[in-house]
Amino acid sequence: MLTYADALAVLLKEAHPLDAERVGLSVAMGRILAQPVSSPLSLPSFDNSAMDGYAIRGGEGHIPSGSMYMVGGMQAAGDGTTAYPGADACEIATGARLPDGFDTVIPVERCERDGERVRVVQDEKRGQNIRRAGGDIRHGDAALPAGRRIDAAAVMLLAALGVEAIEVMCRPRVAIINTGSELHASGPLPEGGIHDSNGPFLAAALASWGADLLMRHRVPDTGDAFGKAVDEARRAGADLIVTTGAVSAGRFDFVPSALTAMGARELFHKVAIRPGKPLLAVRFEGGPLVLGLPGNPIAVAVGHRFFVAPVLRGMAGLAPETPRRVRLVEGYDVRPGLQHFALGRVEADREGREVAHVQRNQAAYRILPFTQANAWLTANDAFGEVVDAWPLDPVLAP
């Protein structure tokens, strides 16, 4: 059997970056930037007032209490440049462009207005309360790097810069095939039946990547039904097919032989990990990569987190994730010779230091501990004093 590191290396060689496409900002949420974005203008684009008050004409030194100024008019947000000849002050609104020749804004609550004149009621600092042009970002500066996932903050910045469209990585086209004659949707179950949880889980997990889910089929334990589903996914142009179940060595574990009979090239079958050892990877020449995950739900969760997600990162042109090292509070006995993936919680101890706890009573078939964890803890051979900790969900940032 391959080690986890070797199996992942084989997969990442097959996870070629997808093409890029140009999309409008209104539909870019969740997409991965294919090219860096440079700022087409400065933000702010002009010196403007940080608050409502009075703009004062430029001068030297501080502004002493009692200073009086002639008010020339009102500068509102959206007004163009105004010189206000003959005046040394003007009323100004938050965000309004600072008039030519003015260099300070005094808050309205620290001023007393008397007709066309205004008096300063306390000492003020020259140059205060001005948002300078380029104070946020300057023209030509890097705004967002390639590989950045577009979130609401990125949308805000791009919109402020007037960017209407961006280059993003194409969405990976994924098909899900869940095998098992015992699987059923919600509703009354027949004797011996179980509800399908792997399909909905994978669909939800892939949605967080913005994957284009081409199809999700539940098929009985027959090679013909499975083969038809695979053929449909290939015709639909899938980049990746994820299957669950029927990859071990039992009578009904037909997936490896079915894929081989269809012309797929085996990359590996079985990895020295727990849970999820029977995992299968094959490639169709000129077609999709196929990852066959075991059927137990936590084995599927491990397969998605530590095999599917790295493949999707590779297709998005992102470098592999790296874990953080965390001290393990108590020991955890595992079978030697395997890479182990355990559900856990990473929390702060009494001294505020980050520590990890392994979730108790976990097993490949138990889903409840998955809902109570906030991290994956991994170790090779044994869990020592320090372990690798990974976010429960894949990280989409570079």
For 16-62, the DSSP string reads PPPPEEEEEGGG-TT-BBSS-EE-SS-BSSS-EESSSEEEEE--SS-
Range list of H helices, 89-188: 152-160
Q: Residue for token digits 């986890």? A: 4
Summarize pLDDT for 3-44 with one digit per residue, the tens.
999 999 999 999 999 999 999 999 999 999 999 999 999 999
Structure tokens at 24: 């409008």
Summarize pLDDT for 100-115 with one digit per residue, the tens.
999 999 999 999 999 9
Same fold, 48-131 and 324-391: no
* Cα dist from 186 to 35, 172, 193, 196, 320, whole Å: 43, 28, 11, 8, 37
Backbone angles phi, psi at 396, to 5 degrees: -100, -5
Structure tokens at 239: 């980049």
- The predicted pLDDT at position 378 comes to 94
Q: Does the structure show a pLDDT above 80 at 236?
A: yes
Summarize pLDDT for 324-359 with one digit per residue, the tens.
999 999 878 888 889 999 999 999 999 999 999 999
- The predicted pLDDT at position 81 comes to 81
Tally of CA atoms within 13 A in the half-sphere of 246 that contains its CB: 27
Summarize pLDDT for 252-275 with one digit per residue, the tens.
789 999 999 999 999 999 999 999
In which element (H, E) is residue 12 found? helix 4-14
- Pairing of β 265-269 and β 102-107: unpaired
pTM (two decimals): 0.88
* Cα dist from 234 to 217, 231, 241, 264, 307, whole Å: 14, 5, 9, 12, 20
- The predicted pLDDT at position 333 comes to 81
Q: Average pLDDT in the 368-389 region?
A: 92
| Greater pLDDT, 19 or 85 | 19
Q: Does the structure show a pLDDT above 90 at 383?
A: no
- The predicted pLDDT at position 216 comes to 97
Summarize pLDDT for 170-225 with one digit per residue, the tens.
999 999 999 999 999 988 999 999 999 999 999 999 988 889 999 999 999 887 99
- The predicted pLDDT at position 397 comes to 63
- The predicted pLDDT at position 398 comes to 60
Summarize pLDDT for 260-318 with one digit per residue, the tens.
999 999 999 999 999 999 999 999 999 999 999 999 999 999 999 999 999 999 999 99
CATH code given to domain 48-131: 2.170.190.11
Structure tokens at 241: 């097919």
Minimum mean pLDDT among 26-35, 48-57, 227-236, 377-386: which range? 377-386
Tell me 106's DSSP state: E
Name the residue among 175, 168, 157, 291 with its Cα closest to residue 233. Answer: 175
Write down the domain spans for the chain: 4-19+171-315, 21-43+135-169, 48-131, 324-391
CATH code given to domain 324-391: 2.40.340.10
CATH tag for 21-43+135-169 (out of 3.90.105.10, 3.40.630.10, 3.40.640.10, 3.20.10.10):
3.90.105.10
Q: Does the structure show a pLDDT above 80 at 396?
A: no
Residue 307, helix vs strand vs coil: helix
CATH entry 3.40.190.10 includes domain 4-19+171-315: no
